[in-house]
Amino acid sequence: MTGRLGSSLLWIYFVLMVAFLFLPLAVLVLFAFNSGTTPTLPIQGFTTKWFTDAFSNTDLTSALLRSAAIGVLASVVATALGIMAAIGLNAKRVPGEPVAIGALLLPLVVPYISLAVGMLILLQALHFKNALWEIALGHAVIALPFALLVILPRLRSLDGSLNEAARDLGASDFAAFRLVTFPLLLPALLSSFIICFSTSFDEFAIASFLYPSGQPTYPVFLYGGARSPAILPQLIAIGTLVIAISLLIVGLSELGRRWAERRIEGRTSASVDVSSADTLATT
């Protein structure tokens, strides 16, 4: 009886959680095809003109492309820094490792608004004007903990003897990393890039403080445009496309990750079989 009750409560919780997460997305998609200018039920009719109007709005499309470019740059920087930090923390003896990990993960607990104000004061003290690269830098800072939390566990799960074998065969440390470790890290690096990109793409606080005049990012433009009934339907249409593209990217990345892991496992098992055969032949 207790088991059935627990299972029923678990399913109820799951259904409520899925509804809470996905019903707003479904409503957004529904109103993207509403011919009315206000998102109210019942919908007045079916239309796709808001998509055409959205792509004709150069301010909206420029903000969208601006956020995408910043997201790519921030993701590359955060993932690269995550690799270096993971390699350093994966060493056998790291003095002050808990302090280093705490410092690297600090952006997870620091409010973004506080970080944005601090960056604005610092950059103004250094006589820098607001620029898009500053937003990318700030986004790389807040995305770094996510990259580290994805890459470090994967790196620690790898067999260290593989690198040692590569070095015994004459490979340098860099060559061993490039030829052995890096391919094994590719699924984690792909996951890190996607997580960092999503973190940067929808970040508002830092971007709202650091964006140059007339060059808002998509979240900043969205915040301002949501209060304007004239472009609200266009924002809903673009939001629907963003949801669709996000789901497509997540699906493709998951398929790619599984394919890469199967390929890596196949190569690893083949190498083990060859090594075992060589050992038996020598004995």
Both tokens of 271, joined, read 């190498």
- Neighbouring C-alpha atoms within 13 Å toward the C-beta of 185: 25
On whether both 124 and 206 belong to a single domain, the answer is yes
Instruction: List pLDDT tens digits, range 160-187.
Output: 777 777 777 777 777 777 777 788 888 8
Question: 53: which residues sit within 8 A by CB, 6+ positions away?
Answer: 233, 234, 237
Evaluate whether residue 150 is within a structural domain.
yes
Evaluate whether residue 16 is within a structural domain.
no
Q: For the chain, how many structural domains are there in total?
A: 2
- Residue 210 · residue 138 · CB < 8 Å: yes
Nearest-angstrom CA–CA distance, 90 and 86:
6
Nearest-angstrom CA–CA distance, 58 and 237:
15
Both tokens of 183, joined, read 């391919």
Average pLDDT over residues 194-219: 90
Question: 141: which residues sit within 8 A by CB, 6+ positions away?
Answer: 107, 115
Residue-level pLDDT at 145: 93
Instruction: List pLDDT tens digits, range 99-111.
Output: 888 888 888 888 8
On whether both 153 and 279 belong to a single domain, the answer is no
- Residue 138 · residue 119 · CB < 8 Å: yes
On whether both 86 and 48 belong to a single domain, the answer is no
Instruction: List pLDDT tens digits, range 232-253.
Output: 888 888 888 888 888 888 787 7
On whether both 75 and 91 belong to a single domain, the answer is yes
What is the reported pTM? 0.80
Evaluate whether residue 215 is within a structural domain.
no
On whether both 83 and 193 belong to a single domain, the answer is yes
Evaluate whether residue 239 is within a structural domain.
yes
Residue-level pLDDT at 78: 94
Evaluate whether residue 170 is within a structural domain.
yes
- Residue 189 · residue 81 · CB < 8 Å: no
Evaluate whether residue 15 is within a structural domain.
no
Residue-level pLDDT at 146: 93
On whether both 95 and 148 belong to a single domain, the answer is yes
Residue-level pLDDT at 128: 87
Instruction: List pLDDT tens digits, range 253-281.
Output: 777 767 766 766 665 555 555 445 445 45
Instruction: List pLDDT tens digits, range 25-81.
Output: 888 888 888 877 777 777 777 888 888 888 888 888 899 999 999 999 999 999 999
User: What confidence category does residue 143 fall into, taking pLDDT thresholds of 50, 70 and 90?
Assistant: very high
On whether both 131 and 249 belong to a single domain, the answer is no
On whether both 142 and 238 belong to a single domain, the answer is no
- Residue 206 · residue 138 · CB < 8 Å: yes
On whether both 118 and 174 belong to a single domain, the answer is yes
On whether both 84 and 186 belong to a single domain, the answer is yes
Q: DSSP state, 159?
A: -
Residue-level pLDDT at 81: 93
On whether both 70 and 92 belong to a single domain, the answer is yes
Residue type, 74: A
User: What confidence category does residue 137 fall into, taking pLDDT thresholds of 50, 70 and 90?
Assistant: very high
Asked which of 159, 181, 210 is the last residue of a domain, the reply is 210
Average pLDDT over residues 214-223: 88
Nearest-angstrom CA–CA distance, 279 and 79:
39
On whether both 45 and 75 belong to a single domain, the answer is no
- Residue 150 · residue 82 · CB < 8 Å: yes
Q: Quickly count helices (H) and strands (E) in the chain.
A: 12, 0
Is 215 in a helix, a strand, or coil? coil
Residue-level pLDDT at 267: 59
Burial zone of 29 (CB within 10 Å; 0-12 exposed, 13-18 middle, 19+ buried):
middle
CATH of the domain at 119: 1.10.3720.10
HEC states along 202-214? Answer: CCCHHHHHHCCCC
Higher pLDDT pick, 122 / 271:
122
HEC states along 32-62? Answer: HCECCCCCCCCCCCECCHHHHHHHHCHHHHH
> 124 is in which domain, residue-wise?
58-210
Evaluate whether residue 206 is within a structural domain.
yes
Evaluate whether residue 217 is within a structural domain.
no
Residue-level pLDDT at 71: 93
Both tokens of 54, joined, read 């959205």
- The percent of residues above 90 in pLDDT, for the chain, comes to 17
Q: What is the DSSP string of 72-137?
A: HHHHHHHHHHHHHHHHHHTSS--TTHHHHHHHHTGGGTS-HHHHHHHHHHHHHHTTPPP-HHHHHH
Residue-level pLDDT at 36: 73
Residue-level pLDDT at 255: 79
Q: What is the DSSP string of 69-90?
A: HHHHHHHHHHHHHHHHHHHHHT
Asked which of 178, 210, 242 is the last residue of a domain, the reply is 210
